[in-house]
Amino acid sequence: MKIVYLLTSLGIGGAERQVVALAEGLAARGHGVTLLVLRPRLKQEWPTHLDVVSLGVSKTPLRVWRALIRGRRFLADLRPDLIHSHSFHANVVARLLVLFLRPAVVISTVHNVFEGGWQRMLAYRLTDRLSQRTTAVSHATADRFIRLKAVSRERCLVVPNAFEPADFLPQPERRTKTRAEMQLSDSSFVWLAAGRVVPAKDYPNLLRAFAAVHLAQPNAKLWIAGEYTPAAIAPLRLLASELQLGDGLLWLGLRRDIAALLGAADGFVQASAWEGMPLAIGEAMCVEKPVVATNVGGVRELVGDTGVVVEPRDSDALAKAMLAEMNTPEQDRKLRGSAARLRIEQEFSMEKRIVEWETLYRDVLGELPETNNS
């Protein structure tokens, strides 16, 4: 098959990382794969050996129109069998472009329970028939989009995110090395949170919860790894100061060594207000770390009974869950961590998911009376 993956950018985000892993997996299975991105190339992107084509979309209407023309020409020359788009902007663009590229097939993927307000949901609804399938990364995501009539039930499928357990192996030696580099004492219990500083992650909720944890357990530390802008971080630094978190809190910024940080940490916490199916939680499960997270999107679908899930926007409940985990015997935490990794290996492995996507692509192409797939 000749496949184009269409996404907004290759920026350092969970959805982007998932697309790159999927695209490279399909290329390894012998398919022709190209990444087509709407935005200009960024300084910080997920690395890939695949061909990447940028349409250079910017905010001015004229440049948007010119980018769409370039996209149509590129796809007309390439003549892909299938376009797999991801998240709102790319999904709508793919559906519009396919009007000029029949019989190319479009599959759209929704990565979050919230992808915008009613205008975006209306755009999804009006273009729904231009996509042969719309997939969602969790049942919670699919249910919400169907309920809002943004997606038709008969063309909606759930294909969860997937993970590569081999990239996130528990390594005691790396843990010791990383903790030494971070100048941690053996008595410190480190909670790691990961994700860009954006409203969805609800870091104020996390900081308030950790304030209670730190008061009860002064040896507790909170590391937050994720890209942020000065405007986004300023109010959080002020809140942390008001909560007197001091050296208990460490903002790590954008990091490429999440596996090492997970290994050095003792637990993973996520306080999000909304999600799709967060990759950071699955990665923590791979490294056999206990997870405490809010019950949003597909979090409960992912962790099952291997982690602790509390209601969102409830810092008291989050703090109690974190403290309970810290007071759990280490052996019990290790047993649950092992169960978490096994759950990923059995139900959420990237190898398994790539085969599922390949099967879906062939099934959808097979529904057309005539296709140019090979």
Q: What is the pTM of this model?
A: 0.91
What is the reported pLDDT for 320?
Answer: 98
pLDDT on residue 102: 67
Distance CA 142, CA 295 (A): 16
Residue type at 343 in one-letter notation: R
Which CATH number is 165-347 given?
3.40.50.2000
pLDDT of residue 23: 97
Q: What are phi and psi of 309, to 5 degrees?
A: -120, 130
Helix (DSSP H) and strand (DSSP E) numbers for the chain? 14, 13
The rounded distance, in Å, linking the Cα atoms of 348 and 284 is: 13
In angstroms, the CA 70 to CA 325 distance is: 53
- pLDDT (0 to 100) of residue 67: 86
**Tally of CB atoms within 10 A around 265:** 28
Residuewise pLDDT in 10s, the chain (374 residues): 999 999 999 998 889 999 999 999 999 999 999 999 999 988 889 999 999 999 998 877 888 888 889 999 999 999 999 999 999 999 999 999 988 776 679 999 999 999 999 999 999 999 999 999 999 999 999 999 999 999 999 999 999 999 999 999 999 999 999 999 999 988 899 999 999 999 999 999 999 999 999 999 999 999 999 999 999 999 999 999 999 999 999 999 999 899 999 999 999 999 999 999 999 999 999 999 999 999 999 999 999 999 999 999 999 999 999 999 999 999 999 999 999 999 999 999 999 999 999 999 999 998 776 544 44
In the chain, what are the domain boundaries? 2-162+350-366, 165-347
Residues 263, 182 contacting (CB under 8 angstroms): no
**Quick check: 323 and 216 in contact, CB under 8 A?**
yes
As to burial, measured by CB atoms within 10 angstroms (0-12 exposed, 13-18 middle, 19+ buried), residue 312 is buried
Task: Look at residue 374 in the predicted model and tell me its pLDDT.
Answer: 43
- Report the distance separating Cα 239 and Cα 226, nearest Å: 18
* CATH code linked to domain 2-162+350-366: 3.40.50.2000
Per-residue pLDDT, 373:
45
